Amino acid sequence: EYLKQVGARFDVIQHPYSVTARQTARVAHAPLEEFAKTVVLKIDGAYAIALVPVTRIVDLFEFAHLIGARSVTLADESEFATLFPDCEMGAEPPLGTLYQLPVYVDRAVAARDMITFNGGTHHEAVRMRYQDFAALVEPTEARFSTYRDSEGGWYPYAM
């Protein structure tokens, strides 16, 4: 409804129930590098959204360094109901303007022509041009994600 109200151009993808962002990308038939997952962070006690490709995670140390924060942690899911009262837990969209939260977008997401993300439920995804998303949300773009390797370790991506 919010995207309609602001006149954004987007498509809603109805899909079978899924829980994880990776599962959602698969059942929504979205390329993994195009599907962006919403990560809710606490930055020096304040909440924010970080948006990364589903294949990557937020490098919390790099993120803190980039923005000059003393503390960056993942928000606890128990806090999501208050932050996103109209969403199913775990399906939060990265629409910071709707929730009065700053949005940080990893450059791997910003480099895509199109992005797909959770639409607030476990059976809907939203697909839109990244430029339209950025015009609406006015995110801060930076490089702050890492890949997980087959051994369970982490390494920065090169871009």
Instruction: List the chain pLDDT tens, one digit each, 159 residues.
Output: 899 999 999 999 999 999 889 999 999 999 988 999 999 999 999 999 999 999 999 999 999 999 999 999 999 988 998 999 999 999 999 999 999 999 999 999 999 999 999 999 999 999 999 999 999 999 999 999 998 654 455 545 433
| Per-residue model confidence (pLDDT) at position 111 | 96
Residues 136, 49 contacting (CB under 8 angstroms): no
| Per-residue model confidence (pLDDT) at position 33 | 85
Neighbours of 96 (CB within 10 A): 20
The separation between CA 140 and the C-alpha centre of its own chain, rounded to angstroms, equals 13
pTM: 0.91
Neighbours of 46 (CB within 10 A): 10
